[in-house]
């Protein structure tokens, strides 16, 4: 007999321990599950960040661009704040700090995040100095309520440290910094190389914008002539993005897409029309509207417009652009944590979050999981007959992945 949705939720909230045959869960727990199914109280922590970070040398501070962003979504945040306010008889808000993990040789101060105006905040002053010799690091986010109650500690994905954008001709022999079709990217424009003038390609509703505060992740997909003429969906082409390729940019939040574009390499404010090397992290590029004669994606204050390039009088394989048509491209990552404590009264942090990193099905059709971030308080997830039955209920549940020690089940 397959477990119902209610039983699945019960199994999850009771840490994987299934009642014995014929034994029913307690009445309060069943009532709590029904209430949760009717009025979900999930809380989601969403961390957006770049795949690479440029190292700072000496006294300079190369702040991470785009800046790491944190979004708090879900009805549970409002419910939890109201619950705390009822208990403390004072206003409650979410507070947070974000910084680099502390395994490096140098100490990096954390940056305070402000969630007062909206459930979004970004860290614009994070950097990694040359005294830190790591090749990779993670961001660490700590969240708590203003009354001191800890929410949890959350980690980003690995971020690769680079000294500066590669100026050499790229090849596919080293694909570490290449950008593949279907990956997520951010695009930003910086007038006269001034940090204060940085604007990010973003989207609000069905309109593309240039924002100084919020950035959006875009899925960058390879297209072809047939797909570019189609108004509907088109199949994903695999491979690495090369200059001269026809591409589509699709906002991961709103789902809206720009018209088919040709990605071009930019050098000294001119477009190189005959370059077909792979696109690399932090390269400067331009986006020509496919089928147009020298029309490029451009920003004007907060608007996204088209710019007509001029032919280069000295070189036929180049076109001249303005600053606002030159974009820097960088790969991005997203980490999402969703949790709910509506069926419990615990005050412990939700972290570390136990996460399924792999699923294998044996010949006997018995699922075997690997867990990451699993500690002593999560032992109910591992081993034993009850766990096997509980894991059967997990098959339809979405679980997120994060690096950590793997625990075979």
Mean pLDDT (whole number) for 154-169: 85
DSSP 89: S
Q: Which of 216, 223, 248, 254 is nearest to 238 (CA)?
A: 223
**99-111 b/e with 16+ CB inside 10 Å = b?**
bbeeebeeebebb
Task: Pick the closest to residue 179 from 242, 137, 262 (CA basis).
Answer: 242
pLDDT grade for 161, boundaries at 50, 70 and 90: very high
Q: How far is CA 307 from CA 70, 73, 184, 207, 297, in A?
A: 33, 37, 25, 18, 6
Q: pLDDT band at 98, cuts 50/70/90? A: very high
Higher pLDDT pick, 147 / 345: 147
pLDDT over 90 (residue 298): yes
Cα torsion through 142, 119, 214, 231, rounded to 10: 120
What pLDDT, on a 0 to 100 scale, did the predictor assign at position 363? 62
Q: What pLDDT shows up at residue 397?
A: 41
Q: What is the predicted pLDDT for the residue at 34?
A: 77
* Contact assessment for residue 395 and residue 150, using Cβ atoms and an 8 Å cutoff: no
Of the two residues 399 and 38, the one the predictor is more confident about is: 38
pLDDT digits (tens, 9 = 90+) for 66-84: 999 999 999 999 988 888 8
Q: Which phi and psi angles does 20 have, rounded to 5°?
A: -65, 165
Q: What is the mean pLDDT of the chain?
A: 80
Give the pLDDT band of residue 393 (cuts 50, 70, 90): very low
Q: Which of the residue ranges 173-187, 252-266, 352-366 has the most confident prediction, judged by mean pLDDT?
A: 252-266
Of residues 123 and 25, more confidently modeled? 123
Element (H, E) at 35: helix 27-38
Q: Over 60: is that where the pLDDT of 230 sits? A: no
At 118 the pLDDT is 77
Mean pLDDT of 149-173: 83
């Amino acid at each position: 007999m397959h477990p119902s949705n209610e039983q699945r939720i019960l199994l999850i909230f009771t840490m994987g321990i299934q009642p014995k045959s014929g034994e029913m869960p307690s009445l309060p727990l069943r009532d709590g599950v029904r209430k949760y199914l009717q009025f979900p109280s999930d809380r989601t922590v969403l961390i957006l960040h770049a795949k690479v970070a440029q190292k700072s040398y000496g006294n300079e501070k190369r702040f991470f661009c785009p800046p790491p962003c944190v979004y708090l979504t879900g009805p549970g945040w409002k419910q939890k704040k109201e619950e705390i306010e009822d208990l403390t008889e004072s206003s409650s808000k979410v507070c947070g700090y974000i910084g680099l993990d502390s395994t490096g040789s140098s100490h990096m101060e954390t940056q305070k995040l402000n969630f007062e105006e909206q459930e979004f905040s970004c860290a614009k002053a994070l950097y990694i100095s040359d005294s830190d010799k790591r090749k990779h690091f993670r961001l660490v986010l700590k969240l708590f309520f203003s009354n001191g109650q800890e929410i949890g500690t959350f980690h980003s994905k690995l971020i690769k440290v680079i000294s500066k954008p590669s100026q050499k001709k790229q090849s596919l022999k080293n694909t570490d910094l290449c950008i593949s079709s279907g990956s997520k990217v951010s695009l930003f424009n910086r007038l006269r190389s001034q940090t204060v003038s940085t604007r990010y390609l973003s989207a609000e509703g069905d309109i593309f914008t240039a924002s100084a505060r919020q950035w959006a992740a875009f899925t960058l997909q390879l297209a072809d002539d047939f797909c570019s003429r189609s108004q509907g969906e088109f199949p994903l082409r695999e491979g690495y993005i090369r200059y001269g390729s026809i591409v589509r940019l699709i906002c991961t939040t709103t789902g809206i897409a720009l018209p088919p574009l040709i990605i071009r390499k930019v050098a000294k404010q001119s477009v190189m029309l005959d370059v077909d090397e792979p696109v690399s992290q932090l390269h400067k590029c331009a986006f020509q509207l496919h089928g147009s004669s020298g029309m490029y994606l451009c920003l004007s204050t907060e608007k996204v417009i088209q710019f007509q390039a001029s032919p280069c009088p000295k070189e036929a394989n180049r076109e001249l652009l303005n600053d606002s048509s030159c974009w820097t491209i960088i790969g991005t990552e997203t980490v999402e944590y969703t949790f709910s404590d509506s069926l419990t009264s615990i005050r412990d942090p939700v972290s570390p979050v136990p996460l399924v990193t792999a699923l294998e099905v044996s010949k006997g059709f018995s699922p075997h999981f690997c867990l990451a971030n699993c500690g002593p308080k999560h032992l109910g997830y591992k081993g034993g007959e009850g766990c096997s039955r509980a894991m059967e209920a997990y098959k339809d549940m979405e679980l997120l992945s994060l690096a950590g020690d793997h625990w075979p089940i």
